[in-house]
Structure formats: C-alpha cells, structure tokens
Amino acid sequence: MSEGAGAPAVLSARREVFALAETFTISRGARRAAEVVTVTAARGGIRGRGECVPYPRYGESPDSVLAAIAGLGGAPARAALQDRLPPGAARNAVDCALWDLEARTAGRRVWEIAGLPAPRPVVTAFTLSLDAPERMRQAAARHAHRPLLKIKLGSEGDMARLEAVRAGAPAAAIIVDANEGWTPEIYAELAPHLLRLGVCMVEQPLPAGRDDMLAEIGRPLPVCADESCHDRASLAGLKGKYDMVNIKLDKAGGLTEALALRDAARAAGFGIMVGCMVGSSLAVAPAVLVAQGAAVVDLDAPLLLAEDRAPPLRHDAQGIHPPEAALWG
C-alpha cells in the first residue's frame, strides 16, 4: 500500500456536535447529540478528513483525543502512526484522514489503493435504544419494514422489552446488545427465550475481563465480542468464548488496523460483525469498506442523526452505499 509522497502532512483537529433525531439510550446512559473529533490532514493544498467518536467507556473524551493528536506534533506516515498512538479514537481519526489524503493526492479511491474490490451497499441493522417495553414496541412497529433490528438491553426488565419488540416487528430479524449488562446467570436464563423469539445473535452479554464463563456455559446462539475485542491483540483471548467479533474503527484505531483485524479474525475462525459509534457519515464511511462480506453490519449511526455531513452516506433499500469521493476516500 502506497502512502503518497512529498512533505509531511499538517494535522488539525476540532470537535463538532451533531444533533440526534431522538434521544439514544443504552444501559450506560442517554445522549441527545453525537460529539465527535474531526481531523484534517493537509499537504500541498489537498485535504483529507477523518472522524472519531471519543468513548468514555474506554477512558476517552474529546479533550483527551485532541491532546493525543496534538502530541503527535505533525502527521507521521500511516505505517508509523500505528506505533505512535495506541488503538482508539485518536488514532482512528488520524489514520482515516491520512487514507483520505492519500486517495485525493493520487486521484484514486481508497479501496483501489488498499487493493480491495470496489465496495457495494451493505444492509445495516437499525438500533432501537433502551426504553420502556411499550415505547420499544412502538419504535419496533415504526421500523418493522427494516430487515434487521438491533435491541439495546442490559438492565432489569429485558425480557419484557424483547417480547415487546418482537410483537411490534414480527417479521424482522433481531440481534441484541447487552452492553456488558448481564451476569452469567441472567444470560443462561434469557438464552432459551432469545432463541424462542428468533434472536439470531447476542452481543457482549458479560463484562469484558469477566467473560471467561462464556467458555464454560452453553452458547445456543452466536455470541459476539464487542467491548472484549479492540484490535488483533484481542483475538487470542477470545477463542472458545466468542463466535464473532465486532470490528469498530474507533476501537481498532483506524481503517489500517480494522482491515488487518478482519483478515486475522476470519483466519482464526471468527464470524465478522462491523459496527460503529454514534457519529456522522464521515465516521462511518471507512467502515463500509471493512463491512464488505461481514455476517452482520451495524452502521446505522447516520440514520440516527437529525443533521449530518454533506454529502451524507446514501441509504436505500439496498442498504448503506459506499461514500462519494466528496465525503471521504
């Protein structure tokens, strides 16, 4: 993979806020806006952009991400960046900005430079945030036309919520995300009901670092690692506990590592899910490349926004489309 030529790029970073269409709630709390950090890498009048979503669960904030980027003192080569910053949001935004800059400098698309096939639209899950059962039933009914719904669970009353969603969307495929909110006992109790209600996958049922019981209890439906999987270094500790891994650019630290993680996970026998944090189309655009051929795609963040980048990622009956060059890549 070429990394372009010429003088080092100049980095700049700033925080931006995008309003959500509705309050988004998970077991850890609620938000009404997506707060992101946007990085620009500029060289010779050409600019590339990347976006990240700092996540408090991983000790990140916009201030910490901006400080980490400022600490680089300038844009390293993309290969060198992998050692200059750890996996996480800051490296993701810089890495994706460098990919975008390289593509614009070369007059090519990122997938061409990366040696990947031209991407196609991917069908994405649509996430229903945590709420009272009746409100979740109503939300499910509004989105019952979507082929795949993702339900945020992980608190008391989960069974009633799941029953309500199935009643609201009887034909949709369902995946559930517990966001580390269950104990082994709760998961073992719920698992038969998940199967009965047609749930096809459960994401991160137990807390990361306290998930060894998954190797000892039955897994009647596929279990996907989210908080337990960040980059390739995570994979060795997941064998025997998880059937799938959820690849997110903000965890992996950019497109470079996300592509490598996808290949390594497949080679190790894991199914692939590609997800995202709640950010704009700019944050999700590189993930569309990673999502090609994934068993489960959860790139619905732009669909949750009241406002987005221009041009946004296009979404229709075929799914989320690859980005236009004017957006990224």
Report d(CA 232, CA 133) in Å as an integer.
38
Report d(CA 231, CA 237) in Å as an integer.
11
Burial of 2 (0-12, 13-18, 19+ CB in 10 A): exposed
CA angle 12, 13, 18 (to 5 degrees): 145
DSSP-derived secondary structure for 83-147: HHS-SSHHHHHHHHHHHHHHHHHHTS-HHHHTTPPPP--B---EEEPS--HHHHHHHHHHTTTSS
Answer whether 34's CB lies under 8 Å from 47's CB. Answer: no
Answer whether 63's CB lies under 8 Å from 8's CB. Answer: no
Query: 150, 152, 241, 251: which is the annotated catalytic residue?
Result: 152
Query: 150, 239, 241, 248: which is the annotated catalytic residue?
Result: 248
Report d(CA 300, CA 313) in Å as an integer.
10
Angle (deg, nearest 10), helices 158-168 and 133-142: 30
Answer whether 179's CB lies under 8 Å from 204's CB. Answer: yes
Residue with tokens 């995008």, as numbered in its chain: 18
Q: Phi then psi for 58, rounded to 5 degrees?
A: -105, 20
Does the N-terminal peptide bond of residue 311 adopt cis geometry, omega within 30 degrees of 0? yes
Answer whether 214's CB lies under 8 Å from 226's CB. Answer: no
Report d(CA 112, CA 96) in Å as an integer.
15
Report d(CA 246, CA 179) in Å as an integer.
12
150 in active site: no
152 in active site: yes
Catalytic residue list = 152, 248
